[in-house]
Amino acid sequence: MYEQFYGLEERPFSITPDPRFVFLSQRHQDALAHLLYGVGRGGSGGFVQLTGEVGTGKTTLCRLMLEEVPEHTRIALILNPMLEPRELLRAICRELEAEPPAGDVGLEALGQCLNQRLLEIHAAGERAVLIIDEAQNMSRETLEQVRLLTNLETATDKLLQIILLGQPELRELLSRPSLRQLAQRITARYHLAPLGRSETADYVRHRIQIAGGSRCPFTSAALRTLHHVSGGVPRLINIIADRSLMAGYAREADRITPAIVRKAAGEVVVGDESGGNRGLTAALSGLAVVVVLALAGSMIWSLNRVSDSSEEVGQPLWRQMLAESSEALAWRETAALFPGVGPAVIEQACSEGQHEGFACHRLRGSWALLRKLNRPVVLRLERPRDAHLLAIDVAASGVRARQSGQDFQVPIAQLDARWLGDFYAVWRDMGSVWQQGDSDAAVAELKRLAAMDPEQAWTGDMDERYGPEFREWIRDFQLRNGLRQDGMAGPVTRLFLSTLGAAGPDVGARTTLD
């Protein structure tokens, strides 16, 4: 459609994997090196863990790794991790070309079959590697069985190297006390972060060039906007860039401008903001990066009270605030919300996703989402560069922002021109994902919140057991709110549940702009 108009031989931003278009940023090269380390002798028979958000390129890296594995390496690739322990052992045996025992045999017989095959591979001078994709979906029982596979060994060598690929929930899952033995066997960890601003621009130009383009139709400003609205996630970059080119072609625009990219992103990512839970779901968008905020009894904000007065921002003061705003200042202001916590802890958490009992995630949403959350967040502004602003409270007409210990009332209209929806949230997080079979006081708290659901309240028992009935209620809750239906109370599900009963942190008196 738009290919000829922009001098392209084919569409450059198809989401269908094509090895010709592979772009390896420095972080992708580092991640690939970690995977190849795990396949080689460097893994030493332990686990290698690679995590990343949806669409950051984990599967692409896995394909590249499979093309570069050393000779004499046998790969068992498990793409469906939602298997019971016996089913998993059968699948691994078949992947390694060993026929498992027929009939309803137990784990011991299947384990003996696998061990025999691994001994044969070892005797032939070859190496066996097990790769499990989407590993965050494995049950606790299956993960424990995977851990036991590392016990298969000769007098001198481990017989199986294991690589776990998954979304950030995998890190939370493996941090649970019940899985500490497995976590202790992880010999290499790598988290694949989204692309940076310059990497996003290089990524787009690379794909344009491979598609036959002699020049990039996106202006430099449009590339910055594309990075902003996509969060640097390659899959979203592809979707928004493709829609932008179609929109530019429809307008007969020779260059793709920031306005075109914003409109395309609004159609692709943001969706309807008509209010209610559906509006909240749409506001979360396809980034699949969400934040868990204070869940009573499990994760607690500890906030200082602030002055009862806030100064309303005029244009001169607003310009001064923007000039002085920075990411480092925002982390200092955020750290001040947690007594005794230094800004380095917060900054590290926001760099790695989790650090010293704190989690930090970036998501993209709307003012309606922020009002729904009713928690302090750090807004990431488009201009000036590196502008970050701590928003203590969001009302219908204005935002109470904090800078250098002083609170200011900023009208929504002033922020709309500079805020495209990106924000960070930091919270104390125990790093747990609750699922069927668990028993804990936190499960009872989840049920208490579930009982407040105005659409379909939980009416079952209120004990500490995460049984099959509650799992089905969680699945239905996820369905009604447009969430991934895995039946587990992970970060995104706890976020929605917390809005049912959390009143929000006490951050002092609020002065509105009405």
What are the tens digits of pLDDT across the range 211-267? 999 999 999 999 999 999 888 989 889 999 999 999 999 999 999 999 999 888 877
Kindly report, residue by residue over 448-475, the tens digit of the pLDDT. Answer: 989 998 888 999 999 999 999 999 999 8
CA nearest 58: which of 146, 162, 164?
164
Residue with the larger pLDDT of the pair 81 and 482: 81
pLDDT band for position 501 (cuts 50, 70, 90): low
DSSP 375: S
Confidence (pLDDT) at 237: 93
| Phi, psi values for residue 456, rounded to 5° | -155, 85
- pLDDT of 505 strictly over 70: no
Q: How far apart are CA 334 and CA 349, in angstroms?
A: 12
Residues 26-192, CATH architecture: 3-Layer(aba) Sandwich (3.40)
Q: Helix/strand/coil (H, E, C) string of 442-482?
A: HHHHHHHHHCCCCCCCCCCCCCCECCHHHHHHHHHHHHHCC
Question: What is the overall mean pLDDT for the chain?
Answer: 80
User: 3-class DSSP state for residue 264?
Assistant: helix
Q: Is there a common fold for 26-192 and 195-270?
A: no
Is-contact 506 305, C-beta < 8 A?
A: yes
Question: How does strand 73-78 pair with strand 161-166?
Answer: unpaired
Kindly report, residue by residue over 72-127, the tens digit of the pLDDT. Answer: 889 999 988 888 999 999 999 999 998 888 888 889 999 999 999 999 999 998 98
Domain locations in the chain? Answer: 26-192, 195-270, 286-433+490-514, 441-489
Summarize the confidence of residues 53-72 as an average pLDDT: 83
pLDDT band for position 316 (cuts 50, 70, 90): low
Is-contact 322 387, C-beta < 8 A?
A: yes
pLDDT band for position 140 (cuts 50, 70, 90): confident
Q: How far apart are CA 200 and CA 25, in angstroms?
A: 9
Residue with the larger pLDDT of the pair 295 and 152: 152
- pLDDT of 406 strictly over 70: yes
195-270 carries CATH number 1.10.8.60: yes
Interior angle at CA 95, CA 92 and CA 96, nearest 5: 90
Confidence (pLDDT) at 441: 86
Confidence (pLDDT) at 137: 87
Residue with the larger pLDDT of the pair 320 and 132: 132
Residue with the larger pLDDT of the pair 389 and 285: 389
pTM of model > 0.85:
no
Is-contact 448 442, C-beta < 8 A?
A: no
pLDDT band for position 271 (cuts 50, 70, 90): very low
User: What DSSP letter does each residue of 148-172 carry, written as one string?
Assistant: HHTT-B-SS-BS-EEEEEE-THHHH
Alpha helices in 353-467 (DSSP H): 367-373, 412-416, 441-450
286-433+490-514 carries CATH number 3.90.70.10: yes
Q: How far apart are CA 425 and CA 263, in angstroms?
A: 26
**Tokens for 217?**
């139709």
Contacts of 66 (CB under 8 A, 6+ apart): 75, 77
Q: How far apart are CA 355 and CA 426, in angstroms?
A: 11
